[in-house]
Chains A and B, each alone.
Chain A
Amino acid sequence: MNPGAPAVEPRLEATRNACKLCTPLGACLVFRGIRGAMPFLHGSQGCATYIRRYVISHFREPMDIASSNFSEATAVFGGGENLTRGLDNVIRQYHPELIGIATTCLSETIGEDVPGMLRDYAAARTGIPDFPALVQVSTASYRGTHMDGFHDAVRATVRALARTGAVLPRQINLLPGMVSPADIRHLREIVSAFGLSAVVLPDYSDTLDGPAWADYHALPAGGTTCAELADTGRSVATLQFGRVLALAAESAADVLQATCDVRACKIGLPIGLRETDAFFRQLEEISGRAVPESFAGERGRLVDAYVDGHKYLAGKRAVLYGEEDLVVGLAAFLTETGVMPVLAASGGKSGHLRRALEDAAPETKAATQVLDDADFAQIETAVRELKPDVMIGNSKGAKLARALGIPLVRTGFPIHDRFGAQRLHHVGYRGAQELYDRIVNALLEQSQAATDIGYSYL
């Protein structure tokens, strides 16, 4: 425990209002970011349906996830036959280019050799034209959170698809983590401004934020292609976001470095000036080009906004919660603006949150209470004691924020009590700008609402 940070009661053993989702959800999001890919859950039907509903409520886009639909007999005698029939049916109905097979607790617990089953399945179908690539990831939800499922699926995908070959000197791999579709579009814009092309994994910027359709698409257009994913082994470097992820045992960037000799550049999720500067420095170094003028302008405007707004934020105290790397990124950004995160909470339990936080935002060392493996009951206890000026996180904190009259700035996943989550920017100077404006305005609204005067000029 740090000096200045109040002690928190230990959480109950029962998880009350979890601040995390289950592993297969993360894997399904990753597969949705690959062109022509169909996510497939090996296990009970409910897992697929629940995850679909959750993802749809946030992105407001179709999210089909197939399931091998275990019955009681399947659970007893094994899911091999269901897997085979399920894959056959998905191929028939969806004509996918890739099927991303994530396991569920059920198939994991009965101890199935899913990789072996898939090898047999594919071997029996060699030579069939347009036979999809199969990528398998183990995602038992009693191990980790949706972010573990997400990163494991990214790693499994590059492990399965990346091939070595002549280096493509102007191509990088970009592994952004669980950012918004708008963020992914912005990241592509940034990378191409440096004269580089990026293979982004996952890229659900179109599949989970697409246009209205003339005809129905069983699989939405967009996403990174299998050919591009094969070429991840030929990129000049891999840029991987997330300081917590960087401390993990083996991430996708490590796999690409080990198997294809692609240089791994691990940086923080670029939220705020410092983390975005680090991102741009990396791009300068890789591309050999200076930061393009347009982005220098964005940076300048962001600093200008920091100045214009600094008195509104001076001394404000924030509670942050959500995915570990998002919380770290937000903390790095906020400490630049004069807002002190008094609580950084996550349902994740990598064990690296504290260290990542202090690396990204040394200011937090004395002032920020860190809760990992937290649930919302525990967060509520802390918030009631800390009485912050603002909360920043997903919709699941809305009830608490409302009960205590604390403004909530919505970021992360899920945002299903507000509109437009797909289009929120977080990364780059532009993302920081948007977040900054939202936070300042949330606090202004709060202080306006608290008086009878109703200033029309501030």
Chain B
Amino acid sequence: MIPATAILDERRAQVLRNGEAGGDVACGKNSAAGSVSQRACVFCGSRVVLYPIADAVHLVHGPVGCAVYTWDIRGALSSGPQLHRNSFSTDLQEIDVIHGGEKKLERCLRELVTTYHPNAAFVYSTCIAGIIGDDIGAVCRKATTEYGIPVIPVMSEGFKGTKKDGYRAACEALATLIGTGDTAGLGPRSLNILGEFNIAGETWIIRDYFTKIGVDVVATMTGDGRVPDIRRAHGAKLNLVQCSGSMVHLAKVMEERYGIPFKRVSYFGIEDMAQALYDVAEFFEDPEILRRTRELVRTELAMLVPALRQYRRDLEGRRAAIYVGGAFKAFSLVRALRHLGMRTVVVGSQTGNADDYRQLKELCDPGTIIVDDSNPVELAAFVNEKGVDLFIGGVKERPIAYKLGIGFCDHNHERKQALAGFAGMLNFAREVHATVTSPVWKYVPRRRLEPR
């Protein structure tokens, strides 16, 4: 049983057992003070979304911490420039906090732009820049004129909301770039990929599928992203949005401004990946694209399905816990785990919305614990109660799993293995199999509770 103190009173409405009485999972709230939320901050949300744009300078305006903890820790790959893998900071000191940091920001921008000749610069506001009231917008406007490249403020003060607000600020920043490039030469069957960050080369896998079915990709936002592509993204005919939380806002803005429709997709798991391709084929109403899509899916599945069988044999009936950033990814994971014969008994996210949680309720078995904005004490109690064999999460969840003798799969931005696409599904199955069936669990002292 879960210890009485595991869930703080003010968080009880954010935890639900599927099928039991009670309405929806409460969500969209600020994290309770003193809870060890797995969320980060507004800045983190913006930094995650914009980080993979490889030909831009990303300058964090604040004390050094915000920049240093986000230095080259993500697996977002670039096929060309590697500028994004640096950490640039104005490294505000006490004197700057007293007198203001605008002048320092101006000087730092000059240094970086003249040293690296980027195609754009993003300037991230942090808690301190916000509190001391630096006019980052004005500095950026001036720099844009002076250097002839877009210098874009990202209003990501850490305390001004949650990670989701950071996504939004990043979308606003991107929206200022879009529409400024030349769309000449873009064909009628073209799309943008939004909310795909090229972790371990995943954007390349997806992009390759679209090339195969005969659809052009204009801009990838932001995996392997480039400023010139983003500037002409308004020339595409369709926006495909993955990772719902982070970039739906941008898709909506583009729909409003440029009349580009969008579709929400996921590239994780078999059905979701295939559905994403069929959605595109259907959208363009081109029999040739549809034929190629069918062929692609058939070929991929002919390889994938037999390969999965051997893993499923060992994994059948095992139980999994999922705790991820956005709830949309959780849907795909629940379905992908079913292909491996596994049941999801705990599922949660940092930033899911009411719709997301309703869908999760429909998707999951009765008794599954569904949780919003959880923390280590809760998560440990949940996985213990449910007796799980696998935890899917990020680096912050990993020690919870390992200390308790539970297998772990990293599905966060730090992962070094591609998990998207059909190829990614096979990698996922291999990784899950490797961890769940490892001999090491025979030697750990974990007291396995009877699963409920």
* Interface 0/1 of B152-189, CB less than 8 Å to A: 00000011110000000000000000000000000000
Query: With A13-B108, A45-B37, A212-B444 in contact, do A53 and B69 touch (Cβ < 8 Å)?
Result: yes
Q: Is the CB of B65 within 8 A of A12?
A: no
Q: Is the CB of B395 within 8 A of A53?
A: yes
Query: CB of B131 within 8 A of chain A?
Result: yes
* Interface 0/1 of A189-215, CB less than 8 Å to B: 000000000000000000000011111
**Which of A139-147, A175-183, A306-314, A442-450 contacts its partner?**
A139-147
Residue from A40, A48, A56, A72 in contact with B159 in the complex, judged by beta carbons closer than 8 Å: A72
B92 and chain A: residue at smallest CB distance: A142
* Interface 0/1 of B1-44, CB less than 8 Å to A: 00001101010000000000000000000111111111111111
**Which of A79-87, A315-323, A353-361 contacts its partner?**
A79-87
Query: With A46-B44, A72-B161 in contact, do A57 and B395 touch (Cβ < 8 Å)?
Result: yes
Q: Which residues of B contact A64 (CB under 8 A)?
A: 36, 376-377
Q: Is the CB of B159 within 8 A of A44?
A: yes
Residue from A15, A69, A86 in contact with B88 in the complex, judged by beta carbons closer than 8 Å: A15
Q: Which residues of B contact A86 (CB under 8 A)?
A: 33-34
**Chain B interface bracket (under 10, 10 to 19, 20 to 34, 35 or more):** 35 or more
Q: Is the CB of A141 within 8 A of B131?
A: no
Query: CB of B308 within 8 A of chain A?
Result: no
Q: Is the CB of B5 within 8 A of A92?
A: yes
Q: Is the CB of B94 within 8 A of A85?
A: no
Query: CB of A399 within 8 A of chain B?
Result: yes
Q: Which residues of B contact A399 (CB under 8 A)?
A: 72, 85
Q: Which residues of A contact B354 (CB under 8 A)?
A: none
- Report B385-432 residues with CB < 8 Å from chain A CB: 395-396, 398-400, 402-405
Query: CB of B78 within 8 A of chain A?
Result: no
Q: Which residues of A contact B8 (CB under 8 A)?
A: 89, 92-93
Distance in Å from the Cβ of A209 to the closest Cβ of chain B?
12
Query: CB of A61 within 8 A of chain B?
Result: yes
Q: Is the CB of B377 within 8 A of A54?
A: no
Q: Which residues of B contact A95 (CB under 8 A)?
A: 5
Q: How many A-B residue pairs have CB under 8 A?
A: 236
Q: Is the CB of B396 within 8 A of A56?
A: yes
Distance in Å from the Cβ of A132 to the closest Cβ of chain B?
13
Query: CB of A184 within 8 A of chain B?
Result: no
Residue from A13, A85, A212 in contact with B405 in the complex, judged by beta carbons closer than 8 Å: A212
- Report B42-61 residues with CB < 8 Å from chain A CB: 42-44, 59
Query: CB of B447 within 8 A of chain A?
Result: yes
Q: Which residues of B contact A24 (CB under 8 A)?
A: 65
Q: Which residues of A contact B32 (CB under 8 A)?
A: 69, 85, 89
- Report A16-58 residues with CB < 8 Å from chain B CB: 16-18, 20-22, 24-25, 40, 43-54, 56-57
- Report A142-168 residues with CB < 8 Å from chain B CB: 142-143
Query: With A46-B44, A105-B128, A142-B96 in contact, do A89 and B33 touch (Cβ < 8 Å)?
Result: yes
Q: Is the CB of A22 within 8 A of B65?
A: yes
Query: With A14-B111, A49-B41, A82-B33 in contact, do A56 and B6 touch (Cβ < 8 Å)?
Result: no
Q: Which residues of B contact A47 (CB under 8 A)?
A: 41, 65, 158
Distance in Å from the Cβ of A408 to the closest Cβ of chain B?
15
- Please report the C-alpha to C-alpha distance between residue A85 and residue B8 in the assembled complex, in whole angstroms: 11
Query: CB of B104 within 8 A of chain A?
Result: yes
Q: Which residues of A contact B257 (CB under 8 A)?
A: none
Query: CB of B93 within 8 A of chain A?
Result: yes
Q: Which residues of B contact A396 (CB under 8 A)?
A: 71
Residue from A56, A68, A217 in contact with B395 in the complex, judged by beta carbons closer than 8 Å: A56
Q: Which residues of B contact A63 (CB under 8 A)?
A: 399
Q: Is the CB of B34 within 8 A of A89?
A: yes
Query: CB of A70 within 8 A of chain B?
Result: yes
Distance in Å from the Cβ of B33 to the closest Cβ of chain A?
4
A213 and chain B: residue at smallest CB distance: B403
Q: Which residues of A contact B131 (CB under 8 A)?
A: 75, 106, 109-110
Query: With A13-B108, A15-B88, A93-B377 in contact, do A44 and B158 touch (Cβ < 8 Å)?
Result: yes
- Please report the C-alpha to C-alpha distance between residue A82 and residue B159 in the assembled complex, in whole angstroms: 13
Q: Which residues of B contact A54 (CB under 8 A)?
A: 69
Query: CB of B384 within 8 A of chain A?
Result: yes
Q: Is the CB of A106 within 8 A of B128?
A: yes
Query: CB of A437 within 8 A of chain B?
Result: no
Residues of A within 8 Å of B, CB-based: how many? 73
Query: With A50-B44, A93-B6, A140-B94 in contact, do A20 and B108 touch (Cβ < 8 Å)?
Result: no
Q: Is the CB of A51 within 8 A of B69?
A: yes
Query: CB of B296 within 8 A of chain A?
Result: no
Query: CB of A65 within 8 A of chain B?
Result: yes
- Please report the C-alpha to C-alpha distance between residue A109 and residue B127 in the assembled complex, in whole angstroms: 10
Q: Which residues of B contact A16 (CB under 8 A)?
A: 86-88, 112
Q: Is the CB of B159 within 8 A of A21?
A: no
Q: Is the CB of A45 within 8 A of B5?
A: no
- Please report the C-alpha to C-alpha distance between residue A48 and residue B375 in the assembled complex, in whole angstroms: 13
Query: CB of B272 within 8 A of chain A?
Result: no
* Interface 0/1 of B60-71, CB less than 8 Å to A: 001111111111
Distance in Å from the Cβ of A415 to the closest Cβ of chain B?
14
Distance in Å from the Cβ of B111 to the closest Cβ of chain A?
5
Q: Is the CB of A62 within 8 A of B403?
A: yes
Query: CB of A216 within 8 A of chain B?
Result: yes
Query: CB of A67 within 8 A of chain B?
Result: yes
Q: Is the CB of B71 within 8 A of A142?
A: no
Query: CB of A257 within 8 A of chain B?
Result: no
Q: Is the CB of B67 within 8 A of A15?
A: yes
Q: Is the CB of B446 within 8 A of A214?
A: yes
Q: Is the CB of B33 within 8 A of A14?
A: no
- Please report the C-alpha to C-alpha distance between residue A105 and residue B73 in the assembled complex, in whole angstroms: 23
B379 and chain A: residue at smallest CB distance: A216
- Please report the C-alpha to C-alpha distance between residue A106 and residue B96 in the assembled complex, in whole angstroms: 14
Q: Which residues of A contact B128 (CB under 8 A)?
A: 105-106, 109, 142
Residue from A20, A62, A87 in contact with B399 in the complex, judged by beta carbons closer than 8 Å: A62
Q: Is the CB of A17 within 8 A of B87?
A: yes
Q: Is the CB of A14 within 8 A of B68?
A: no
Distance in Å from the Cβ of A381 to the closest Cβ of chain B?
12
Query: With A44-B158, A69-B33, A140-B94 in contact, do A14 and B39 touch (Cβ < 8 Å)?
Result: no
Query: CB of A71 within 8 A of chain B?
Result: yes
Q: Is the CB of A216 within 8 A of B68?
A: no
Q: Is the CB of A72 within 8 A of B71?
A: no
B111 and chain A: residue at smallest CB distance: A12
Which residue, B32, B36, B161, has most C-beta atoms of chain A within 10 A?
A: B36
A220 and chain B: residue at smallest CB distance: B403
20 contacts between A and B (CB under 8 A): A13-B107, A15-B67, A15-B88, A17-B86, A18-B64, A22-B64, A48-B36, A49-B37, A49-B38, A49-B396, A50-B70, A53-B396, A69-B30, A69-B32, A90-B34, A106-B128, A212-B403, A214-B446, A216-B377, A399-B85
- Given contact pairs A69-B35, A90-B34, A93-B375, enumerate 8 new A-B contacts (beta carbons under 8 Å): A18-B91, A21-B64, A45-B31, A50-B66, A66-B35, A89-B32, A142-B63, A142-B97
Interface residues of A (CB under 8 A from B): 12-18, 20-22, 24-25, 40, 43-54, 56-57, 60-72, 74-75, 82-83, 85-90, 92-95, 104-106, 109-110, 140-143, 211-218, 396, 399
